[in-house]
């Protein structure tokens, strides 16, 4: 799996308040792969620090080198440097864009975050400044550009600039989020087992050295690069003249001046043009994360279903688990709704504000008298 982890929290919808904190990654066929989740009272500094510490101790280890993508929650921003100092913390472009009401500014912001060329980045930023100088200044005050702009980040995030996968996971567990704690955990566990089984079966059907999703992308790049012209400087160094730009491709270092190859881990359209000309194997130039063997290793382990209550340990009777302390939920307090007459509460009779007679209002008063 690619060394990029996305974290997020989502609230429970049922009778019992709380938040589910989740960390996910993306496996070789671009599917959601949940790493860990936890049920906490609310999102704050204490719980996010605890969650990231568990993530470090049991998943990524202390020698962690990965990209952590989040929605810029203030508690995550404070906890990451403290708990995961070696992780590269980046921000979701979609959550950043929601701050601005202008649709053009939102689109330009996403394009600026996604581009790998610094000149193109400043071109998008100049267009934002022309539309709204206030929006431009607020973006420049977020922090270092490498926190959200791919063009200034040395570590690759494989084209992932959104936390949409973890948002999809939050929507997928909506039925479980309405359940009590034990049912919620059992439901999420069963959900993971079901997807783990289905994706393992899908992996057995792959016919190429890489997974299906990336195989189709390689074919797409080969089709786009079929009309490019090439100039050879050495057996591994070529100049490729594309539709809109001219790029230098180095097969030895697996790099292209468009930076797409280094960022994504598979040959770009310019590299595919050279690989096709040299009759090389394009799959040999892909990173290991997309290999069929890596995908099979990801789903090699067998998940065991939860045992029935009659097989649970009996020593739990001596353990007394207290309920969590009550706390005030964020947002406006809910008011009691008005009950109807079918619930035992009589409905107040409507009276006219003009003649005070029951059964009509002032708009229909003349019709009622006639």
Domain boundaries, the chain: 4-100+149-203, 212-296
Distance, in Å, from the CA atom of 155 to the CA atom of 68, rounded to the nearest integer, reads 11
Helix, strand or coil, per DSSP, at residue 222: helix
Distance, in Å, from the CA atom of 62 to the CA atom of 92, rounded to the nearest integer, reads 25
* Residue 334 predicted with pLDDT over 80: no
Mean pLDDT (whole number) for 279-307: 87
Query: Lowest-pLDDT range, 15-24, 221-230, 287-296?
Result: 15-24
Helix 74-83 with 45-55: angle, nearest 10 deg:
40
The rounded mean pLDDT for the chain is 85
* Residue 305 predicted with pLDDT over 80: no
| Contact by Cβ (8 Å): 365, 354 | yes
* Residue 254 predicted with pLDDT over 60: yes
* Residue 104 predicted with pLDDT over 90: yes
Mean pLDDT (whole number) for 71-98: 90
Query: Lowest-pLDDT range, 50-64, 188-202, 308-322, 332-346?
Result: 332-346
Predicted TM-score (pTM) of the model is: 0.79
Nearest alpha carbon to residue 117 among 274, 275, 269, 263: 263
The pLDDT of residue 249 is 92
CA distances (Å), origin 196, targets 3, 259, 292, 312: 20, 33, 16, 25
Q: Which CATH number fits domain 4-100+149-203: 3.40.50, 3.30.420, 1.10.10, 1.10.357?
A: 3.30.420
| Percent residues over pLDDT 90 in the chain | 36
| Contact by Cβ (8 Å): 290, 214 | yes
Give per-residue pLDDT as tens, 159-214: 888 888 888 888 888 888 888 888 888 888 888 888 888 999 888 888 899 999 99
For residue 130, which phi and psi values (nearest 5 degrees)? -65, -30
């Amino acid at each position: 799996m690619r060394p990029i982890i996305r974290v997020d929290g989502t609230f429970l919808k049922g009778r019992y308040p709380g938040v589910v904190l989740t960390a996910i990654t993306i496996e070789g066929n671009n599917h959601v792969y949940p790493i860990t989740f936890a049920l906490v009272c609310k999102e704050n500094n204490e719980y996010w620090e605890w969650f990231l510490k568990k993530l470090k101790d049991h998943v990524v280890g202390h020698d962690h080198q990965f990209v952590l993508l989040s929605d810029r929650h203030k508690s995550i921003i404070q906890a990451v440097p403290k708990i995961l100092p070696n992780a590269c913390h980046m921000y979701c472009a979609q959550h950043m864009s929601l701050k601005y009401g202008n649709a053009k500014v939102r689109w330009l912001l996403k394009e600026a975050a996604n581009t790998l060329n610094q000149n193109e980045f400043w071109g998008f930023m100049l267009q934002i400044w022309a539309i709204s100088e206030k929006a431009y200044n607020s973006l420049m005050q977020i922090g270092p550009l490498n926190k959200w702009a791919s063009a200034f980040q040395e570590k690759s995030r494989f084209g992932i600039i959104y936390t949409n996968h973890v948002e999809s996971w939050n929507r997928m567990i909506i039925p479980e989020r309405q359940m009590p704690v034990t049912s919620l955990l059992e439901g999420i566990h069963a959900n993971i087992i079901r997807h783990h089984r289905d994706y393992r079966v899908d992996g057995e059907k792959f016919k190429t050295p890489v997974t299906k999703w990336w195989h189709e992308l390689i074919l797409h790049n080969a089709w786009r690069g079929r009309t490019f012209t090439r100039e050879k400087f050495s057996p591994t160094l070529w100049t490729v003249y594309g539709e809109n730009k001219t790029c230098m491709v180095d097969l030895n270092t697996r790099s292209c001046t468009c930076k797409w190859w280094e960022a994504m881990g598979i040959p770009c359209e310019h590299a595919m043009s050279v690989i096709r000309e040299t009759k090389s194997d394009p799959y040999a130039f892909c990173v290991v994360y997309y290999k069929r063997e890596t995908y099979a290793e990801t789903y090699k382990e067998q998940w065991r279903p939860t045992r029935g209550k009659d097989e649970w340990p009996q020593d739990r009777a001596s353990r007394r688990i207290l309920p969590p302390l009550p706390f005030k939920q964020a947002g406006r307090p809910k008011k009691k709704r008005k009950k109807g007459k079918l619930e035992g509460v009589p409905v107040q009779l409507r009276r006219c504000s003009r003649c005070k007679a029951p059964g009509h209002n002032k708009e229909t008063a003349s019709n009622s008298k006639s």
